[in-house]
Amino acid sequence: MSGFWGSKIKLSIFGESHGEGIGITIDGLQPGFKIDFEKVQQEMDRRAPGRNSISTARKEGDKVTVMSGIFNGVTTGTPLCGIIRNEDKKSRDYSTQAVLMRPGHGDYPGYLKYNGFNDYRGGGHFSGRITAPLVFAGAIAKQMLLEKNIKVYSHIKSISNIYDDEIDLCCINEDKFENLKSKEMAVLNDETMIKMKNRILEVKEDCDSVGGVIECIITGVEGGIGDPFFDSVESTISHLVFSVPAVKGIEFGKGFDITKMTGSKANDQYYYDSDKVKTYTNNNGGITGGITNGMNIVFRVAIKPTPSIYKEQNTINIKEKKNDKLKIVGRHDPCIVQRAVPVIEAVAAIALYDLIKE
């Protein structure tokens, strides 16, 4: 079933957007590790809804109750289960979704897959709300990676056609990226952040939505991690990244732009820095042959515009089997990108922890 993922670390997610709660079971964590739950909650808060004018008005504390896997303050090595209660539900807003299929959502495919028995309220199990448990698991993975001096950062590279500052793929200012975690939007350039926020508010006023790109950087990764072909680093990260609702694309290093280069420009040429091997460029995003080469892992993710918009749209009525109109009500994000930043970091951390765990 699709609710399971992992090789050395195994995840199982559960719940629906308007059900009693959502959660995750994590199997394979190392025993004896003391989790800093204050830092875990900080990651949860970065993703949580209802924080500002550019997010949904739904307010959820996203406090995690740990049901198992912790004893005397440390991990036991047995499955760790965390549950998040849904507190701010307005299910009546979705009464029409029983028969009117929302364009861009999983309503119609879900209806087909589950023979009409799926919970459609707020998107049910298809909802972006189910990413909260992934952030919980990712926050734990981040702390375990930090023991190996591996850090995961990201920023909003673009919203619509507004772009943040370019970064050096070989070497980033880690202090600057750390500071992004406390900002309203994870954008390096403050003037650009204002432009992005204004753009989001513009489309919100127009009853519409907008998407963007998130750039993720993983530092401190040693060379030699991963395998060629089916278990490549790109394959493992991409599998989890595409598990995040609204993700429609991923590229590593220079990505599609590498196709515009010649081989002499695209190749990352090696050199010795003392006894450490480095490359002058990082066009391949720290991965060649499916295996890490010791440089920063860099990838970008395309996030589509939020499909729940307040403009009237064409759709179908599956009960009457006829064409119809739909005007969505309820509480929705005009842009999901800023809340997806910690989610992308989380799945990157989980994927990498699965790859390096002995």
Complete DSSP assignment for 293-306: -SSPEEEEEEEPPP
- In the predicted model, what is the mean pLDDT of residues 79-106? 82
Q: Are 119 and 16 in contact (CB under 8 A)?
A: yes
Given a cut of 80, whether residue 67 has pLDDT beyond it is yes
Given a cut of 60, whether residue 12 has pLDDT beyond it is yes
Instruction: Provide the residue type at 40 as one letter.
Output: V
Q: What pLDDT is recorded for position 52? A: 67
Given a cut of 80, whether residue 308 has pLDDT beyond it is yes
Q: Are 142 and 345 in contact (CB under 8 A)?
A: yes
Angle between the N-to-C axes of helices 337-356 and 233-241, in degrees from 0 to 180, rounded to the nearest 10: 140
- Binding site residue list for FMN: 125-127, 289, 304-308, 331
Instruction: Provide the residue type at 250 as one letter.
Output: I
- Indicate the SS3 state at residue 143: helix
Query: CA angle, corner 165, sides to 301 and 159, nearest 5?
Result: 45
- Binding site residue list for NADP(+): 47
Given a cut of 60, whether residue 331 has pLDDT beyond it is yes
- In the predicted model, what is the mean pLDDT of residues 148-164? 98
- Indicate the SS3 state at residue 12: strand
Residue 94: band (very low, low, confident or very high) from pLDDT cuts 50, 70, 90 = low
pLDDT tens profile 77-92:
999 999 999 886 565 6
Q: What pLDDT is recorded for position 91? A: 58
Q: Which structure tokens are listed for 350?
A: 């989980």
Given a cut of 90, whether residue 18 has pLDDT beyond it is no
- In the predicted model, what is the mean pLDDT of residues 18-24? 91
Q: How far is CA 115 from the centre of its chain?
A: 29
Calpha distance 280→266 (Å, rounded): 11
Q: What pLDDT is recorded for position 292? A: 98
Q: What pLDDT is recorded for position 145? A: 98
Q: Which of 98, 62, 35, 88 is nearest to 324 (CA)?
A: 98
Given a cut of 70, whether residue 55 has pLDDT beyond it is no
Calpha distance 145→6 (Å, rounded): 17
pTM higher than 0.75, yes or no?
A: yes
- Binding site residue list: 47, 125-127, 289, 304-308, 331
Q: Which structure tokens are listed for 188?
A: 């390096």
CATH topology of domain 4-356: Chorismate synthase, AroC fold (3.60.150)
Q: Which residues, in sequence order, are CB contacts of 181 under 8 Å at separation 6+?
A: 42, 46
- In the predicted model, what is the mean pLDDT of residues 189-198? 97
Q: Are 190 and 319 in contact (CB under 8 A)?
A: no
Q: Which structure tokens are listed for 317?
A: 């009525």
Given a cut of 90, whether residue 154 has pLDDT beyond it is yes
pLDDT tens profile 216-273:
999 999 999 999 999 999 999 999 999 999 999 999 999 999 999 999 999 999 999 9
Strand locations in 140-245 (E) = 151-159, 162-163, 212-219
Angle between the N-to-C axes of helices 337-356 and 131-146, in degrees from 0 to 180, rounded to the nearest 10: 50
- Considering Cα of 245, then 7, then 14, then 110, what sign does the dihedral take? positive
pLDDT tens profile 116-135:
888 888 777 888 889 999 99
Residue 58: band (very low, low, confident or very high) from pLDDT cuts 50, 70, 90 = low
* Domain ranges for the chain: 4-356
Q: Which residues, in sequence order, are CB contacts of 252 under 8 Å at separation 6+?
A: 234, 284, 285, 287, 297, 298, 299
Calpha distance 296→210 (Å, rounded): 29
Q: What pLDDT is recorded for position 61? A: 74
Average pLDDT of the chain to the nearest whole number: 93
Q: Are 66 and 73 in contact (CB under 8 A)?
A: no
